[in-house]
Amino acid sequence: MNPTLIGAIVFLIILAVLSRSLGSRVRPSSSTSSRSGDASFASTFPYKRQRYLLSKAERSFFEALRTAIGNDYHVFPQVHLASLLYVPKGTDNWQSHWNRIQSKYIDFVLCDREYVSPVLAIELDDASHQDDRRHERDAFIDEAFAAAGIPLLHVRAASGYNTQELREQVRSLTNGTASGVE
């Protein structure tokens, strides 16, 4: 047999063995693989999908808000305060200030369409806002947003909304500009 042919066959066998060996060690990243069908993986976590992101009252307001603002802004529901506010490093009691925002959410945020920069936060006030503890939370939220320079609009939850009135409230708090950024 030709020594070149034997060398090529040996090379191909070694290449196949190495390929198989390396292939078994490499796992696809979580972004490219779907684990939803993997029963052993799914059974290790107790999580279930929420049926709805918004309550009926929030959904009703969301639709009215989208109608009122048209294409002027992006609307984001249930935004984490720590996505909107931060505590500068070196601030006295940094951890305490951080703890106060890390687990709170605001009902809706309007953002500039070009930069997706927050221009207005909206809190939908339902019956739960009558509770004393909720008053304390609302007062904190009001002060935190004022300190950060983000206007905050409180809207009383209702069975229906006047979209023209809502549009005017938004315009007055965003200085009447389409983007809210001057």
Q: Domain range holding 101?
A: 56-173
User: Is 46 a member of any domain?
Assistant: no
pLDDT (tens digit per residue) in 81-125 = 999 999 999 999 999 999 999 999 999 999 999 999 999 999 999
Q: How many domains does the chain have?
A: 1
Coarse DSSP helix, strand, coil percentages of the chain, rounded to the nearest 5 percent: 45, 15, 35
User: Is 84 a member of any domain?
Assistant: yes
User: Is 49 a member of any domain?
Assistant: no
pLDDT of residue 42: 61
In the predicted model, is pLDDT for residue 47 greater than 70?
Answer: yes
Total-model pTM: 0.71
User: Is 18 a member of any domain?
Assistant: no
User: Is 9 a member of any domain?
Assistant: no
In the predicted model, is pLDDT for residue 150 greater than 80?
Answer: yes
In the predicted model, is pLDDT for residue 139 greater than 70?
Answer: yes
User: Is 21 a member of any domain?
Assistant: no
User: Is 39 a member of any domain?
Assistant: no
| Residue pair 140/110 in contact by the 8 Å Cβ criterion | no
